[in-house]
Chain A
Amino acid sequence: MEQIQFSKEELERYSRHLIIPEFNIEGQRKLKAASVLVIGSGGLGSPLLLYLAAAGVGRIGVVDFDTVDASNLQRQVLFGIQSVGKSKAMAAKERLASLNPHITIDVHNTKFTSANARDLVRQYDVVADGTDNFPTRYLVNDACVLEGKVNVYASIYRFEGQASVFNELLSDGTRGPNYRDLFPSPPPPGLVPSCAEGGVIGVLPGILGSLQALEVIKVITGVGDTLSGRLFLFDATGFTTRTMKVRKDPRNPLNGENPTQTQLIDYDQFCGIGVPASQEREVEAIDVHELHSWRESGKEHVLIDVREPYEFGIAEMGGDLIPLATVLESTTRIPKDVPVVVQCRSGARSAKAIRQLEDVHGYTNLVNLTGGILAWQEHIDPSLARY
């Protein structure tokens, strides 16, 4: 560590670290010598990257395949309006380079997959998981366990957040618990909606991502006790926090007593994604162009919108609002003698509404609007707000 030197500018920049007795220049040297891979530069990744760069982590890798969308700016504070439409990983590099020119930023403008995960993880000392779906959560965990890297974890849902430190190298030479010790397998698809579907209060990823940055810095410097072996929970609605114990599970398939998994797997399959929902039958459908021509030609039909009132308030296309949960009791508003087009945000809930109405009330005149109001906005009416 003695060979890590600082310029005058760096010493001044990091002076508030250097004067903490427990941290001092030794902690700063460890940060400068360290490399961190941040997977995802969204809600969690934004504060993570900003604080790690500001703190002086010597080399930071950013993995993201996405581009910046206007709906990201409510929480992804790494980006500004000039970033909209740009590659997130590239926009992140520009922002971080302007924040701290004394560090290196590696751009990985790619999806994090079973094919590249281990190669990427291997190039860094610590991994921070800022991803947003179960398949990638398990992929990040497994790649870290197989490559012997620490996985600093946080996740959020609406007003709730969780954080932990997985697979940390402990003083006795063993590794702390990992994600599979906590949750051996994921919930079925659809039970826990993503932020895109379920929404998220914008400050929450800011809080959890900042906690993650803190834990990354503690892992690197050895200052304090990390969240290894503990799960931190935050519920913003009641402002309650809880910290639970996490123990190793001897049945862990990666590093339990009888490991059965020695390489990465297909995580979409593991999480039940892409497996056809055989019990859900297809429903009749039309696309937005066809509905548009129905309207232009004056063809008789009724449009039913099965979204929630708060969604209707963001954007609507002239349908009669009957939220999915109430369609079965609202049959007086849904005729049986003219074509009825059923619409939601993207087409899934409206298909469900049609199946329910057909099964319970014997409707035969219902058609689903493929792609929902999002497709209508994209192809027919760009003046509507997307959400």
Chain B
Amino acid sequence: MSPRLLLTLLLCASALGLGFGLMNGSLPLSPGEVWSALLGRGDSAAIEVLWQLRLPRVLAAFACGGLLALSGVLLQALLRNSLADPYILGISGGAAVGALAAMLLGASLAAMQLASFGGALLAILAVFGLGFLHGERNIYRLLLTGVVLSAGCGAVVSLLLTLAQGEQVKGMLFWLMGDLSHPEGLLFAWVVLLVLGLCATVFSGGLDVLAGGPDKAAALGLAVGRWQMALYFAAAALTVAALQLGGAIGFVGLMMPHAVRLLGIAAHRWLIPLSVLLGGSFLVLADTLARTLWSPQQLPVGVFTALLGVPFLLWLLGKR
């Protein structure tokens, strides 16, 4: 499929996805009602619901999907491993330990967000310190350090879950499976997404070169060390912003870049914007279904990303 056609299709899909998210919920709105409420006209309840609840929610879902997809693309290029996802380096593990520990202590929502941010930051610095600064820069060392740290955090998370009481466990599971009902730092997330997405697209040639391995990339004139560091911190910032928005939502960061690749796009110049658009619209769709299908009960969005994504990816794999 030509990249330009795919870009057009995904732009349409993004608009449709956002519209679908704005229309559906406990108070269903028609496209016309959504439009007039957006312009501040018509039913005041509709305006209230749209501006206070739905618009922040769909914007958070879109940004979160885009952030995760972009982080996945960058980490797959940095680690030269197509199985890398935003959580592989232990960033989500650190955030989960922070968030769950705060929940166990009965901290407020704001304190919980702060604790998860702190946990993620600690993990980022630990992996960077142990994996990067130790002698020769070795990407396998970085990967292993991250995976080991992830495993450690996983154990602590299990421990915290065991220690928690009934209602706490549910909140913890929601955080672990991803939940967009308390999006925090929406403006920060969009700024990170737009700035890093634009930078990554503009300098995407370097990412293509990096795929050939560090020797080849250096021989082609890339400052490999500086690029690796920049990629690491960019991916970390993207992941942290996504975690703050919606917890550890699985599947999107690993699979969206692969879905675009399976459609025949490999050059990062196209892969980056297309993955971001696909990730964003996909997560809006998944989140809308998660909050409406069993309403008033809201389901964790992470369940839907996998339930929707698995058949789609299997279909794509079968087609190729």
Is this pair of chains taken from one and the same complex? no
